[in-house]
Structure 1
């Protein structure tokens, strides 16, 4: 039977690679993956970023055209990490999908998981998700999505 082993990487379009690199490093803690340095100068100019554990990779490509974001990328975390990410996004003044700065009241309660949706400076949609719903419910006042 055919199976998919994992998601290797996700392609993300940006219209300013320098600004994108700064944002992804500062906000999400992602750094260039040196194993893919050769792709930067290739025909597609891809900058491969990874998180410190190399469990997440994003392939940033610069596109001068108007970017039309598609479905959101959701990062799964523990309840404790969810709260830390929530605070990190607030400190960095990251924007929600509706144009508001992320804050503790930005959390969506989905009944069995919690999420906080946000966008990068180019409008690409992301969210941090935790299935530690009961624990988070005890820590936050949540609005049911």
Structure 2
């Protein structure tokens, strides 16, 4: 039976490529992947970004069409990294869909995993998720579920 290996990349529409590159580099530590430089001027003009290990790639394409909110991109991290990502997003004053700046009280407790949701400056929705729920519940002091 055929099986998918992993996600190669995710396409994200933005209104300004240089501003988007600066935001993704500053906030998510993703930089242009020079192996894909020939795609920058291709008919569909894609700028490929990657994390340091190359395990996550986002293909930015410029458009004047507003974000259609077609889906959320979710990344999974360890519990310790989850806490560090909250601090990183808060330090960069990244906002959630309601326009509120991310903080530790922005974490959604889903019972067996935790999530922090935010948007890039172009309205594209993201989540950072951790399945280290028990450990995070102790650190973040979630209110008891009824």
TM > 0.5 fold call: yes
Deviations 1:35-93 (A, max 9, x none): 10000010010000000011100000000122212111000000000000000000000
Residue 131 of structure 2 is matched in structure 1 by: 131
Residue 90 of structure 1 is matched in structure 2 by: 90
Residue 140 of structure 1 is matched in structure 2 by: 140
- List structure 1 segments (4+ residues) > 3 angstroms apart after TM superposition: none
Residue 34 of structure 1 is matched in structure 2 by: 34
Could you state the TM-score of these two structures normalised by the residue count of structure 1? Answer: 0.96
Structure 2 residue runs without a partner (length 5+): none
Contact 1:70–1:125, Cα closer than 8 Å, also in 2:
no
CA distance in 2, matches of 1:104, 1:142: 10
Q: Does 1:64 align with 2:89?
A: no
Could you state the TM-score of these two structures normalised by the residue count of structure 2? Answer: 0.96
Structure 1 residue runs without a partner (length 5+): none
Q: Does 1:44 align with 2:49?
A: no
Aligned alpha-carbon RMSD (Å): 1.0
